[in-house]
C-alpha cells in the first residue's frame, strides 16, 4: 500500500517548491551531496566536516532538541523520466513512488547512483544522523523541482556565500562549473563572463555573475536559457562544433541587433534586459538562427535586424508586458515576436 505524507506546493516566480516534513532516514534514502569529498579539485559543494555533523548529532541526542531550519533539496524528476504529478497530488507526497524513482536515478558519481534529491543546503544537518540513533527525527524539507545545474549553483552561492563565507575558489568552481565533469557548463560560464566584460558586448556590465550585486539578469538565467531553448542543438544540427568563440559570436550578433533595433527597450531596468524579456529573446534567437542557416544566409547583426524590424514595438509597452511573469510570460512574449516575423 502506498504511503503518503502531507505536502504543499508553492510557486515563486517560475520555480516550483514542495514543502513537507520527512523522517531523516527517509530523506537519506533519496538524497546525495555534490561529491567534493570524492574529488577535492572538481567537486562543487564545499568540504564535508564530520566534526560539524557530530556536534549537531550531540545536540539532536538531547531530550528537547529541535531543528527548525529547512533542508533544501532539488528533486531531479525530469532526468529520470518522471514529473511532479507522479509523486504529488491533493496536497500529498507519495513516498513509495519517490523511493521507486530514486532507485532509477543516475547522478554523475557512481557511488551515489541510487539517489534523486540533491542537497542544496543542509548537508551537515542531514549527515548528523550517521552519528545518532534518532534516525526517525522529523525534518522540514523545501524541495525545488527540476532546477538546472546553473540554478542550483547560484542558489547554493546565495545561501552559503552571503551568509557563511565560502572559500573563493569554491565560488569560482560553483559558477565556473568543473571543466572536466561539466565541460558544457564551463564553456557557458566563459561565454557569459566574456559577454559581461567585453566593452563591445550588448551585455556589458549587465550580468549578475554571482547572482547578486549590479546587473539586470543573472548568469544562471542566461546559462539556463542557452540550454533550455536548444541554442547549441541548433548549431549542431547545422554542422557546427560547440566552441566558446562560436557561441559567443552568435549571441553577440543577435543581441547587438536587439540593442540597436530596440534601443528604447534595451538597457538597465528596461523590459528586454530583464529576465523574462532576455529569455524570450534567447528563444527567438534559436528560431532566427535556424531560419538563417536553413536558407544558407549569413547570421550577422544586419541580417538579424531585418527580422527584428518586422516586430511591432508596441508589444514592449508597459501595458502589454505587465503580466509577463515566469515561463508562461516567456512563452507569451516569444509567441508575439514570432508572429510578427514568421506568421504575418
Print pLDDT tens along the chain (344 aa).
678 999 999 988 888 899 999 999 999 999 987 654 444 443 445 567 788 889 899 889 887 788 998 999 999 988 888 899 999 999 999 998 888 888 765 444 444 445 789 888 888 899 999 999 999 999 999 999 998 878 887 787 776 655 545 444 344 445 445 555 456 677 888 899 899 999 999 999 998 876 555 777 888 888 889 988 999 999 999 999 888 999 999 999 999 999 999 999 998 778 898 888 999 999 999 999 999 999 888 899 999 999 999 999 988 886 666 667 778 888 989 999 999 998 75
Same domain membership, residue 33 and residue 122: yes
Contact by Cβ (8 Å): 119, 95: no
Task: Give the domain-ending residue among 127, 147, 167.
Answer: 147
Domain that holds residue 184: 179-343
Query: Nearest-CA neighbor of 193 among 156, 159, 227, 218?
Result: 218
Half-sphere exposure of 93 (CA within 13 A, CB side): 20
Q: Does the residue 152 lie in any domain? A: no
Beta strands in 79-221 (DSSP E): 88-89, 92-94, 117-121, 138-145, 207-208, 217-218
**What cell numbers appear for 251 in the block?**
549571441
Same domain membership, residue 242 and residue 121: no
Q: Does the residue 159 lie in any domain? A: no
Same domain membership, residue 199 and residue 299: yes
Integer Cα distance of 194 and 204 in angstroms:
9
What are the CA-CA distances from residue 307 to residues 45, 229, 285, 289 (Å)? 44, 19, 11, 11
Indicate the Cα dihedral angle 302, 307, 310, 312, nearest 10°.
Answer: -90
Integer Cα distance of 227 and 245 in angstroms:
17
Same domain membership, residue 183 and residue 106: no
Same domain membership, residue 256 and residue 204: yes
The total number of structural domains that make up the chain: 2
Q: Does the residue 167 lie in any domain? A: no
Q: Does the residue 166 lie in any domain? A: no
Give me the phi and psi of 135, to 5 degrees please: -75, -15
Same domain membership, residue 316 and residue 227: yes
pTM of the complete model: 0.61
Note the Cα 206 to chain centre separation in Å.
19
Same domain membership, residue 251 and residue 206: yes
Q: Does the residue 8 lie in any domain? A: yes
Integer Cα distance of 323 and 340 in angstroms:
20
Q: Does the residue 232 lie in any domain? A: yes
Same domain membership, residue 118 and residue 255: no
Same domain membership, residue 136 and residue 13: yes
Amino acid at each position: 500500500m502506498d504511503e503518503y505524507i502531507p505536502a504543499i506546493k508553492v510557486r515563486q516566480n517560475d520555480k516550483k517548491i514542495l514543502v513537507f516534513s520527512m523522517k531523516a532516514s527517509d530523506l537519506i534514502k533519496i538524497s546525495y551531496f555534490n561529491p567534493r569529498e570524492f574529488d577535492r579539485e572538481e567537486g562543487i559543494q564545499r568540504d564535508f566536516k564530520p566534526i560539524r555533523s557530530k556536534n549537531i548529532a550531540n545536540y539532536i541526542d538531547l531530550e528537547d532538541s529541535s531543528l527548525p531550519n529547512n533542508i533544501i533539496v532539488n528533486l531531479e524528476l525530469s532526468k529520470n523520466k518522471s514529473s511532479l504529478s507522479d509523486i504529488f497530488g491533493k496536497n500529498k507526497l507519495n513516498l513509495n513512488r519517490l523511493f521507486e524513482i530514486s532507485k532509477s536515478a543516475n547522478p554523475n558519481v557512481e557511488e551515489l547512483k541510487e539517489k534523486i534529491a540533491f542537497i542544496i543546503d543542509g548537508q551537515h544537518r542531514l549527515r548528523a544522523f550517521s552519528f545518532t540513533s534518532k534516525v526517525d527525527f522529523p525534518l522540514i524539507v523545501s524541495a525545488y523541482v527540476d532546477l538546472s545545474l546553473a540554478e542550483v549553483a547560484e542558489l547554493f552561492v546565495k545561501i552559503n556565500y552571503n551568509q557563511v563565507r565560502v572559500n573563493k575558489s569554491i565560488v569560482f568552481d560553483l559558477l565556473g562549473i568543473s571543466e572536466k565533469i561539466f565541460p558544457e557548463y564551463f564553456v557557458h560560464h566563459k561565454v557569459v563572463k566574456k559577454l559581461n566584460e567585453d566593452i563591445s558586448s550588448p551585455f556589458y556590465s549587465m550580468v549578475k555573475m554571482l547572482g547578486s550585486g549590479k546587473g539586470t539578469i543573472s548568469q544562471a538565467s542566461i546559462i539556463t536559457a542557452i540550454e533550455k531553448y536548444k541554442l547549441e542543438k541548433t548549431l549542431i544540427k547545422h554542422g557546427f562544433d560547440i566552441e566558446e568563440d562560436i557561441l559567443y559570436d552568435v549571441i553577440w550578433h543577435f543581441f547587438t541587433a536587439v540593442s540597436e533595433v530596440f534601443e528604447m527597450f534595451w538597457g538597465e531596468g528596461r523590459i528586454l534586459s530583464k529576465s523574462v524579456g532576455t529569455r524570450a529573446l534567447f528563444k527567438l534567437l534559436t528560431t532566427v538562427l535556424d531560419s538563417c542557416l536553413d536558407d544558407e544566409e549569413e547570421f550577422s547583426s544586419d541580417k538579424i535586424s531585418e527580422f527584428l524590424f518586422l516586430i511591432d514595438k508596441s508589444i514592449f509597452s508597459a501595458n502589454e508586458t505587465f503580466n509577463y511573469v515566469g515561463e508562461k510570460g516567456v512563452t507569451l512574449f516569444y509567441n508575439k515576436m514570432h508572429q510578427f516575423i514568421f506568421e504575418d
